[in-house]
Amino acid sequence: MLCLSIPSYLYASEKTEALNALKDKALFYLAQGQAEKAYQTLKPAELAYSGDAQFNYLLGISAIDAGHPGDASWIFERVVAVMPHHAGARMGMARAFFQLKDYENARKEFLLLKTMSPPESASQAIEKYLAEIDRITEKKSTWLFNGLVYSAVGHDSNVNGAPTSEKILPAPWMQLFLTVLGSPDGTIAIDQEKSSAYLEVGTSNKATYKKPETWSFWGQVKAKNKELQRYNEFSSRNIELAIGSLWVKDSHSINSELGLSYVWRGSTLNNKILSLQSSYSYSLNPRTLVGGYLFLADQQYLESSSNNGVLSTVGVSGSYIWGQYRPVVLQGNFYAGQDKAVSSRPEGDKSLFGSRVGLQFIYNQQHSFSTSVSWSDSRYAKENSIFEKTRTEQQLSYALGYTWSVNKSFSLSTRISRSDTDSNIALYDSEKSEIFLRADYVYQ
């Protein structure tokens, strides 16, 4: 049998010829002022040639001139992700933001273009756009609405938060007491860990009233439902309500928020949390952000009121961006606080401190990877009489994640996480692993 093979470079040559033919056709239509025809010529081939910067640029120009600013902004972002100094793409992206009435981002892009020594004609166009943005936004308050819906499937290894040991050894006097009651070894029997797959759906909706200059005010509603495949009594529902304000001036910003959240376990309202938080951040430069925050919360556990407490924490945070074409974002924070008992909690007040470090690697506009490590230490003020020990806990959590931004509205993500709690009282030792796949749709 005679086998014939065609060299791979011939396929590459054919693909290049097809790409060049599409570009030439689009350029012809653009020269004739037929942007829609150019857009319809290039759009069907977007998936095949999205890695070609010139193809993306022509598609973006066709989209913006044909009246598709939403698509154009996404396409131009692909270009500047790999060619940040591509002035034409930045100009197109600025125009797209302007047409979308996203004047804040449009202004940023036009101001950046001014630093790139544009030719006289482009410079005049930039100034006209900036003047128009000033005219539109001057002394004019605007409403902005955005939100998302999501669905996730996953698996939780410890839905009931059970300790790792099935039998717990209490203090000697309690061992004797349990033996008298009929326990063969004087131990406390504990439910085992229960694992289950789950389906979670949720939504978040935010309305922002943006005042001229520095202030904006907002309200937000979040809701989610986590339905377990097994052990439905541990399924949960959450509703969160929040109002807040944001003040921004130069490199400074202050965000304040008042929130109220409800959590149901099964069909029973389990806890209610009223919280107040405020954060300050300062941009040292375009790559470095530092700040601090204060968080207060009144925590009410309706089924076990002895756990009620008032939590207060203060913390410092910061972030830094490495690289340009494929940046890595480093984020970290450190906090300390107290959970003050308000309903005769047997173990009294709890002091706590901890830290978190996270890394995000942005491969391109569509693909990003993340990892994080968190550690916390908790110490109670009073001795636990059943175990004759003053309770302490250390928790270590870590996670890995990946996000695929299919377009500006739709994304898919997956995450694997694990949490280990180590206490000097075995009743509070626990392990938990979780994995999920999630789909998000963002709208505005």
Residue ranges of domains in the chain:
8-138, 143-443
Q: Mean pLDDT, to the nearest integer, of 325-354?
A: 90
Q: Tell me what pLDDT residue 166 has.
A: 77
pTM score, two decimals? 0.72
Alpha carbon separation from 165 to 64, 91, 168, 189, 393 (Å, rounded): 62, 62, 7, 9, 16
CB 255 within 8 A of CB 278: yes
C-alpha closest to that of 354 among 369, 375, 340, 373? 375
Q: Tell me what pLDDT residue 52 has.
A: 82
From first CA to last CA, the distance across the chain in angstroms is 62
Q: Mean pLDDT, to the nearest integer, of 72-92?
A: 84
Alpha carbon separation from 66 to 33, 75, 102, 212 (Å, rounded): 10, 14, 19, 32
Third-level CATH fold of 143-443: Porin (2.40.160)
pLDDT band at residue 226 under the 50/70/90 scheme: very high
Q: Mean pLDDT, to the nearest integer, of 162-170?
A: 82
C-alpha closest to that of 164 among 369, 423, 371, 351? 423
d(C-alpha 73, C-alpha 64), whole Å? 8
CB 317 within 8 A of CB 294: no
d(C-alpha 247, C-alpha 278), whole Å? 11
Q: Provide the Cα torsion 90, 96, 101, 106; round to 10°.
A: 0
| 324 pLDDT higher than 70 | no
Interval 402-423: pLDDT, tens: 999 888 889 999 999 999 999 9
pLDDT top residue among 432 and 364: 432
Yes or no: domain 8-138 corresponds to CATH 3.40.30.10? no
CB 203 within 8 A of CB 213: no
- To which H or E segment does residue 9 belong? helix 8-31
d(C-alpha 421, C-alpha 35), whole Å? 60
